[in-house]
Chains A and B, each alone.
Chain A
């Protein structure tokens, strides 16, 4: 494949070209693993507004983007801090419209997965039993009860959700965007198929031969990918299997420091506004802290044979 097929761009360029105010953005597709924090921070720095965030549990990235004023709507199953519980920016926005009011469309993990699956399948909805009897069903207009046409059971139709852009963090990819990821996948595969554009953020850029050696691990085929960004450690403080572990203390520090609004403002200044790139973020983090998160003991899988 010629070099002109390369979709490799800088994080700044990827966000500037493909995320704009008003976009619906899928992030955190792999739940606690591989959350695209570097991309989220670049979105904050570029001052995007009125975003709709889509994701399952979302963890503290959504909280940060809400606190930074980028968000007008959240469609998620859970918004908070997986280590400590509450997300204070989310609470301030919902309860007090600080820094601005946000609309919440409450989903479950399963209904978010089904909404993306419907879009990935190209159908208007997927049927399910989950949420029957709950107040989520009453309050979320994208969940509609209906009677099954084949056996008259009560079911819930989960409306298809087609994000403008999915931002997916992966272990490795080639410059055409063919991406290998492993570990828990969450809603990443359907998310890539459901979205109009896909930005892949990779720990490593590898030769096409590496990707082609194990096509079962190519979970995002390159033609679906709009842009590819090489951003080592771009998911910190979340873990990337085989690269680095979860920085649990960082989540607790965020929880403690963002309890009050001025604490959050200092936090976002220190970790996002004052750093121009992931490199300067990592300098602030410090080499010893980054080093302590690296893989201590490798656990390589046995290669498979595609020969004939």
Chain B
């Protein structure tokens, strides 16, 4: 499998999207409170619930709290199946208050750009040198500011993994160690992992990202040449474990037509 290929299924039988979902699901531990978010993380929450983390609880910023995964594939968190048999339906402040108290263990985000310190930009992008107005924060800045661990999922390209984001929509580690504390952000909060289409990045004590694992079939050189700064590589670099048979079966049960997990 080459990193530039578009074949949806690797030799080992799963797509990149399915691998990313499995990796995201493993960021959820049993019993944790999870700010779920949209797209791949919605599936990851379902996978975690049905495998290793049956006691996890999902929070959605529209006011929904679920102890069970939604009975059908979701396209947005406000879809009717996400409300049916929810454990709670209330207003936004009733979930944001839990986030601000520091009770939420992990929150998931996407982004147009992420930088070496895990700062996210979803407000202003650039395309062929021109500024492009993106939709904005939504709840992303809140999750990045306040959840204990933030996990970002995005495509791995030089345009998306940049040395420094042009606009901090959602704060990561700012300019490095101590920055979050200096800003007044909660002590127990901050970026934990960046799951890309090529590997998984984690953060050192100094607040900078490093490559912790590469996905099967991806070389370190591929990762480095597709990253917009000189990315450090872990001494004990691992290969990201693909979904096992149980995880893959659950992913395909939730997303049978590969709507979110096709590539």
B92, B145, B146 interface centre (most CB from chain A within 10 Å) = B92
Binary CB contact string for chain A from 95 to 116 against chain B (1 if under 8 A, 0 otherwise) = 1000000001011111101100
Other-chain contact of A187, B91, B171, B180 (Cβ < 8 Å): B91
Q: Which of A19-27, A124-132, A196-204, A254-262 contacts B (4 or more CB under 8 A)?
A: A124-132
- The segment from A76-84, A170-178, A272-280 found at the interface with B is A76-84
Residues of chain A from 110 to 161 with CB closer than 8 A to chain B in the complex: 110-111, 113-114, 117, 128-136, 145, 153-155
Q: Is A36 interfacial (CB 8 A cutoff)?
A: no
17 A-B residue pairings within 8 Å (CB atoms): A31-B62, A31-B78, A32-B62, A79-B135, A95-B131, A113-B93, A135-B169, A136-B123, A153-B184, A154-B184, A184-B62, A184-B90, A185-B92, A186-B62, A186-B91, A188-B91, A246-B79
> Does A73 touch B at the CB level, under 8 Å?
no
Q: How many positions in chain A have a CB within 8 Å of any CB in the partner chain?
A: 59
- A48 interfacial by beta-carbon distance below 8 Å: no
Which residue of A has the minimal Cβ distance to B79?
A246
| Contact yes or no, A136 B62, CB < 8 A | no
Closest CB in chain B relative to A282 CB, distance in Å: 20
Neighbour of B123 across the interface among A114, A135, A184, CB < 8 A: A135
- We find that the number of chain B residues with CB closer than 8 angstroms to chain A is 51
Chain A residues near B (Cβ < 8 Å): 30-33, 56-57, 76-80, 82-83, 85-87, 90-91, 94-95, 104, 106-111, 113-114, 117, 128-136, 145, 153-155, 182-190, 238-239, 241, 245-246, 248, 299
Complex partner residue of A136 from B64, B92, B130, B137, CB under 8 angstroms? B137
User: In the complex, what residues of B have CB within 8 A of residue A155's CB?
Assistant: 184
Q: Is the beta-carbon distance between A108 and B141 smaller than 8 angstroms?
A: yes
Nearest 9 A/B pairs, CB to CB: A32-B78, A154-B184, A80-B135, A133-B183, A78-B138, A133-B171, A109-B139, A184-B62, A110-B142
